[in-house]
Chain A
């Protein structure tokens, strides 16, 4: 080890901070593809929240939509896989026909659940948080019920998308190489996240649809008076937003893993909501917040898997492993509490819109 570094590390107390910095520098760039992978469902969930809440509809059922989509995609894959025994998979991403239909089915279910949420919260003007809670309970119950029934037959999944391997000369570039590794060493869903984030950011702030969406979320009555159909726009946006949560679910059971477990979303739908709030209801901001949470997920895993040597490592390993597993949840609370006072939601967020009778 460099003598200067070992001297820095040796300072009492302050040396620990240097050790931590050294550990982060050594850990985070190589783990960047893992961080991006962990961030993917959070970002997609947060985008679902952004579109819905920018148009005034709160959706805490993101968790449930993710879970239902993850299950649907997985089970459709299980059913279709035997029908295409010698289906060729593409060399990049490992796309097969069953997997493709499985993703479509996952998105379809997400669309159906979103339609229910839209109908309850826009047409019936029911409490949107309760509607979301029902979605969460129902998704957990139905998937666990069906999974128990199906588990007896030891189902064979249709596999998962594989990650693209960027060429070494690209990832080996000095300074920026790990960024290419982060965004390109990914499966198809994860790789499309950055495109979706940037696209949605432009769409929301530079397009007619975006302007109308924000108008409906801030002041629906004013939007209605200039001729925007508030009800229809909210319906359309809630449906579109559901597709993002559905894609997050498909990612969990068909890209991150190739299986389904009861409750496998593990609160990601709610961390996504926190990312949305911390990111101030913008796609880019939500992406940044999701990356922050994902970094702590990866860090927690890394500390359990390969703690640093020396004094810092001794301290880290003396803390129970479960603490590092819970790190993303703890960080979410702290960041949310620290940031939320300065993060202002759309004015009409969560308020049902009642149209004044026209005739």
Chain B
């Protein structure tokens, strides 16, 4: 389906280059076009800013700051890696769902629950030796995330309730649970604002620069793990078979209901691990405002990477770099950090328009980037009739 390996043996370097281009042409053009759209938006929004002399070069200033903030210095690169870590794991979570024909739009809630599990248990084991405390806190976070993925999985398998609706609801429920716990049982007594205790020894060790924690290596290991499971194990084959055609998979003796439930659970575990990495690696405690854009960013990462586990790494680096550089852009060019969301959406928009891009730019591409064609269509099983059996 989306194997990156070229089908025919490559004879020459030029051929290999052409193969590579056919894979990255569409994403590359989409990214460039979105930067163009972004500069138009910046120029137009200059008109709204009062007492502001119109500056034609502001988009360049903004993009330069974005680049500088993401790869301009060793520390900036570490910041990018820190921002990339949860996006790799979240991207894997969404991509794993796509492979089984599921749309895990609830990575955000699983991310929050994972972080919650890590902070609850991390605070309990805060004085234990790190070698014991860290694995326990990580395991707790993974379990919480997995539970939050299991619920929509079992609901889909048993009743056919579409995961798009149930996982979005679970996102809001996760926010409510965190707000209740952080301002209630988990709150530091006497603290003026709702905040939990520090996770102490359960915090990830810093190995790169000021804040580069070990999470990035965990994330890269998971990339390999997900690839291995998907393409080298029977279970992975079942996931892809159910995603491609649940009925055929059932006739072949597989159990789509079980596969659906387990895949959603595994996806929840991955997104939960993303939350663990942010909590144990970056914040070390939780406030009621703990919440990020990781959930939706993860969807963008998985779509940009066409659900390919290895392609998720560059896709996550791209969006992670944008998130890391957005702060500097806001300071140097007075451009709100939300521009990154706009850029992300336009990248996806151009990707989904890939048939048009191919026609306009005369690109030849191995397969369509999104939707029709090689990728599993996820707009199915919306109601009862198409319940997975």
Contacts and interface: CB of A to CB of B under 8 A. Distances in A.
A182 interface: no
A137 B349 CA distance: 10
Interface stretch (A11-19, A170-178, A187-195, A269-277): A269-277
Q: Chain B at the A interface: mostly helix, strand, loop or mixed?
A: helix
B160 to A, nearest CB: 5
B164 A138 contact: no
B377 interface: yes
Contact of A145 (B45, B155, B160, B387): B45
A140 interface: yes
Residue from B172, B184, B346, B370 whose CB has the most chain A CB atoms within 10 Å:
B172
Interface string A333-346: 10011101111110
Interface range for B: 35 or more
A329 interface: yes
A342 B384 contact: yes
A266 B172 contact: yes
A340 B160 contact: yes
A126 B348 contact: no
A149 to B, nearest CB: 5
B370 A130 contact: yes
Interface stretch (B9-17, B77-85, B140-148, B337-345): B337-345
Interface in A22-75: 53, 58, 60
A205 interface: no
Contacts of A273: 164-165
Contacts, number: 181
B165 A274 contact: yes
A270 B103 CA distance: 14
A127 B372 contact: yes
Contact of A320 (B50, B184, B342): B184
A258 interface: no
A65 to B, nearest CB: 14
A333 B163 CA distance: 10
B159 A329 contact: no
Considering residues B299, B342, B356, which has the most beta carbons from chain A within 10 angstroms of its beta carbon? B342
Contacts of A136: 296
Interface in B308-366: 336, 338-342, 344-346, 348-349, 352-353, 355-356
A226 B370 CA distance: 33
Nearest to B383: A345
Interface in B154-195: 155, 158-162, 164-166, 168-173, 176-177, 179-180, 184
A141 B349 CA distance: 13
B233 interface: no
B161 A336 contact: yes
A352 interface: yes
A349 B371 CA distance: 16
A138 B342 contact: yes
B352 A141 contact: no
B101 to A, nearest CB: 11
A302 B48 CA distance: 41
Nearest to B387: A341
Contacts of A126: 352-353, 370-372
A138 B343 CA distance: 9
A333 B342 CA distance: 30
Given A131-B352, A133-B299, A325-B176, A337 B380 contact: no
B177 A337 contact: no
A323 interface: yes
B341 A124 contact: no
Contact of A137 (B296, B339, B353): B296
B169 A330 contact: yes
Given A140-B341, A336-B166, A343-B384, A329 B49 contact: no
Contacts of A340: 159-162, 383-384
B73 interface: no
Contacts of B341: 137-138, 140-142, 144-145
B382 interface: yes
Given A124-B352, A134-B352, A137-B344, A338 B159 contact: yes
Task: Name the 6 nearest CB pairs between A and B, nearest first.
Answer: A141-B341, A138-B345, A127-B371, A350-B379, A326-B176, A345-B383
8 contacts: A126-B352, A134-B352, A145-B338, A270-B168, A322-B179, A333-B165, A337-B166, A340-B161
Interface of B: 41, 45, 48-50, 103, 105, 151, 155, 158-162, 164-166, 168-173, 176-177, 179-180, 184, 296, 299-300, 303, 336, 338-342, 344-346, 348-349, 352-353, 355-356, 370-372, 375, 377-380, 382-387
